Amino acid sequence: MTIKIAIDGPAGAGKSTIAKKVARLLGFTYIDTGAMYRAITLKVLRENIPLSDKQKIIEIARKSDVFLEGEKVFLDGEDVSEEIRKPAVSEKVSIVSQIPEVRKILVNKQREIAKDKNVVMDGRDIGTVVFPEAQLKFFLTASLEERAKRRYEELRNKGTDVKYEKVLEEIKVRDDMDSKRKDSPLIIPENAIVIDTTHLTEEEVVKKVFEEIKKIVRGEI
Ligand code: CDP
């Protein structure tokens, strides 16, 4: 038996930071599913494919080699880990991720990567669609302002010139699209443990996650 830990939630709630840390501490594989949607979006933008051309986008998703190695993301062999985080990709990714065929291709890939492994996986539909049987499901959230602040600081620290208001707007639009799409919308999975991280430090969130892991180990859940 393998263990799957699902971490879902909206943009900037701290999912990837917490998922990476928990995976490292447990010796599990970390799988960043958002990075896969971002990599496909990057290729669509690079090839100047109109976002209204669903067939071309599906073709790109089918033909591309998206590969995760630790915390790095490779697109057709090229390390795109930095580039996929740029605002140009963030602004368009939710348009690409709402195409059902694109989701099907990537969800299959995600299941294949995680097969036979203990994983911590973060995304929007992990506990609901990718691994509904996950032993532990977390839903991380935080206020919109706090999430925008974190994302703004993250981008600034990387040297990206952005305005707070623009980041806030981008996150708001993306939240809306991700929550309202027909296929696999962002919702709180049944039985998920909801953690509001607005006033919590990274350490406090990791501690809460481990408290839940211990309950499972002790057979309390
Ligand atoms: O890091 P951030 O929270 O900004 O987003 P991400 O996890 O990198 O995901 C980027 C986008 O990919 C999301 O806004 C969703 O549109 C899409 N996504 C998805 O649809 N399903 C997933 N399992 C993961 C991401």
Residue 142's pLDDT is: 97
Tens of pLDDT along 131-175?
999 999 999 999 999 999 999 999 999 999 999 999 999 999 999
* Among protein residues, the one whose CA lies closest to atom 19 of ligand 1: 124
Query: What's the 178 CA to ligand 1 centre distance in angstroms?
Result: 8
Query: What's the 204 CA to ligand 1 centre distance in angstroms?
Result: 24
Query: What's the 111 CA to ligand 1 centre distance in angstroms?
Result: 16
Residue 219's pLDDT is: 74
* Residue type for position 119: V
- As for ligand 1, residues whose beta carbon falls within 6 Å of it are 11-12, 16, 33-34, 37-38, 93-94, 97, 123-125, 174, 178
Q: In 82-188, which residue ranges form alpha helices assigned H by DSSP?
A: 87-96, 100-114, 144-157, 164-180
* Residue type for position 132: P
* Residue 82 scores a pLDDT above 90: yes
Query: What's the 219 CA to ligand 1 centre distance in angstroms?
Result: 32
Query: What's the 124 CA to ligand 1 centre distance in angstroms?
Result: 6
Top mutation candidate among 33, 36, 128, 184 for ligand 1, by most atoms within 8 Å of CB: 33
Instruction: Report long-range pairs for 172-180 (Cβ below 8 Å, ≥24 apart).
Output: 172/144, 172/148, 173/94, 174/11, 174/90, 174/93, 174/94, 175/10, 175/11, 175/144, 177/94, 177/95, 177/98, 178/10, 178/11, 178/94, 178/97, 178/124, 179/10
Query: What's the 188 CA to ligand 1 centre distance in angstroms?
Result: 15
CA distance 35 to 73: 7
Beta-strand pair 4-8/119-123: parallel
Tens of pLDDT along 99-113?
999 999 999 999 999
* CA distances in angstroms from 114 to 85, 88, 141, 157, 166, listed in the order given: 23, 29, 24, 32, 35
Average pLDDT over residues 49-75: 96
* Residue 67 scores a pLDDT above 80: yes
What is the greatest pairwise CA distance in the chain?
53
* Among protein residues, the one whose CA lies closest to atom 16 of ligand 1: 94
Residue 191's pLDDT is: 93
Half-sphere exposure (Cβ direction) of 14: Cα atoms closer than 13 Å? 25
* Among protein residues, the one whose CA lies closest to atom 4 of ligand 1: 11
Residue 220's pLDDT is: 65
Task: Name the nearest CA neighbour of 58 among 102, 121, 17.
Answer: 102
Q: What is the mean pLDDT of the chain?
A: 95
Tens of pLDDT along 2-30?
999 999 999 999 999 999 999 999 999 99
Task: Provide the β-strand partners of residue 30.
Answer: 120
Q: Of 52-56, 127-131, 172-176, 214-218, which gets the smallest average pLDDT?
A: 214-218
Query: What's the 34 CA to ligand 1 centre distance in angstroms?
Result: 4
Average pLDDT over residues 179-194: 97
Task: Please return the burial class of 178, using the count of CB atoms within 10 Å of its CB with bins 0-12, 13-18 and 19+.
Answer: buried
Q: Which atom of ligand 1 is nearest to the CA of 151?
A: 4
Top mutation candidate among 20, 37, 44 for ligand 1, by most atoms within 8 Å of CB: 37
Give me the phi and psi of 7, to 5 degrees please: -125, 110
